């Protein structure tokens, strides 16, 4: 599966020590050069992203186009070149553009959902991440966060899969999630 990530998803997961979810879920995640440039040495998440690049599971992939001003634009260009199966991006306008171009889109909350579904996280861990993001000022869809909080709070610690199997909310498109083992 070819997965491309924008900066906000990488940094959002890195600052709560959950960047490794990307490796667990998809083995390798590609980022365009533009995203690589946006992850700054003096900003949160830099060390974690650099470590993942050094380990080889986040791969900086140059595209054949011009240098673009924003990571989201680079993600769309790279998605077209690689024929991406999924693009991880949180910005609402970028999500609409990438989706309109025919690509499946998810964001940081979607990664949490996938981690929960595959039993890489428990319900309380998800709630803890959401609380940390809120304290850090991350902008997230209130509707989706509320829904996730409601469902995550009701998840038995031993069996988070029941949560996802029973979730029939039309706002959540889970077709891109990795299959259960």
Assess if residue 27 is contained within a domain.
yes
What pLDDT does 181 receive? Answer: 42
Assess if residue 135 is contained within a domain.
yes
Say yes or no to pLDDT of 177 above 60.
Answer: no
- The tally of domains found in the chain comes to 2
- Look up the domain containing 27 and give its range: 3-106
Mean pLDDT of 136-146: 74
* pTM across the whole model: 0.81
Return the higher-pLDDT residue of 70 and 164: 70
What pLDDT does 114 receive? Answer: 87
Q: What is the mean pLDDT of the chain?
A: 81
Q: In the chain, which residue ranges form alpha helices assigned H by DSSP? A: 7-14, 20-26, 33-38, 46-55, 71-82, 92-100, 108-117, 123-136, 142-153, 161-165
Residue 13 and residue 98 share a domain: yes
What pLDDT does 153 receive? Answer: 66
- How many Cβ atoms from other residues are within 10 Å of residue 103's Cβ? 21
Say yes or no to pLDDT of 48 above 60.
Answer: yes
Could you tell me the CATH number of the domain that includes residue 88? 3.40.50.1010
Assess if residue 177 is contained within a domain.
no
Assess if residue 93 is contained within a domain.
yes
């Amino acid at each position: 599966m070819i997965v491309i990530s924008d900066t906000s998803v990488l940094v959002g997961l890195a600052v709560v020590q959950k960047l490794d979810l990307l490796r667990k879920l998809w083995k390798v995640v590609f980022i365009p050069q533009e995203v690589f440039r946006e992850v700054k040495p003096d900003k949160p998440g830099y060390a974690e992203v650099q470590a993942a690049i050094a380990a080889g599971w986040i791969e900086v992939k140059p595209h054949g186009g011009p240098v673009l001003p924003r990571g989201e634009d680079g993600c769309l260009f790279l998605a077209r070149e690689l024929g991406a199966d999924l693009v991880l991006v949180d910005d609402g306008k970028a999500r609409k553009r990438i989706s309109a171009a025919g690509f499946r889109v998810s964001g940081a909350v979607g990664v949490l959902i996938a981690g929960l579904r595959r039993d890489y996280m428990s319900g309380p861990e998800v709630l803890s991440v959401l609380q940390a993001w809120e304290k850090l000022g991350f902008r997230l869809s209130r509707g989706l966060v509320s829904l996730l909080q409601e469902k995550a709070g009701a998840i038995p610690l031993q069996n988070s899969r029941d949560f996802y199997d029973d979730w029939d909310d039309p706002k959540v498109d889970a077709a891109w999630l990795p299959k259960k083992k």
